[in-house]
Amino acid sequence: MLKIDTKTASEHRHTILHNSRNTLGEINMRYRELLDTQKIKPSDFKQKLANLPESSLLEGYLILEPTHQKVLETVV
């Protein structure tokens, strides 16, 4: 996402905001699809993330991907 400041031309602001909203919408849709396919409630997913050890972090981020067994794992 891009940062909008006072130097950003007004005609570009609309495009930047529109693209940002679309990106956030896509992220939200993928998140819901992931939870549906894994049959996990959002609260359970949040708890699973909270229980992961700090050693699972990669530069402060968790990298998640589904496995063939449809179980969420961290990729380090």
Q: Do 30 and 58 belong to one domain? A: no
Q: Which residue range(s) make up the domain with 5?
A: 1-39
The tally of domains found in the chain comes to: 2
Q: Do 35 and 46 belong to one domain? A: no
List, for residues 4-41, the tens digit of each pLDDT value. 666 767 778 788 888 899 999 999 999 899 889 888 89
Q: Do 4 and 19 belong to one domain? A: yes
User: Residue 76's pLDDT band (boundaries 50, 70, 90)?
Assistant: very low
Q: What is the mean pLDDT of residues 41-49?
A: 90
Q: Are 35 and 45 in contact (CB under 8 A)?
A: yes
Q: Do 61 and 72 belong to one domain? A: yes
User: Residue 56's pLDDT band (boundaries 50, 70, 90)?
Assistant: confident
pTM above 0.75, yes or no: no
Q: Do 48 and 76 belong to one domain? A: yes
Across the strands, what pairs with 66? 72
What's 4's DSSP letter?
P
Q: Do 1 and 35 belong to one domain? A: yes
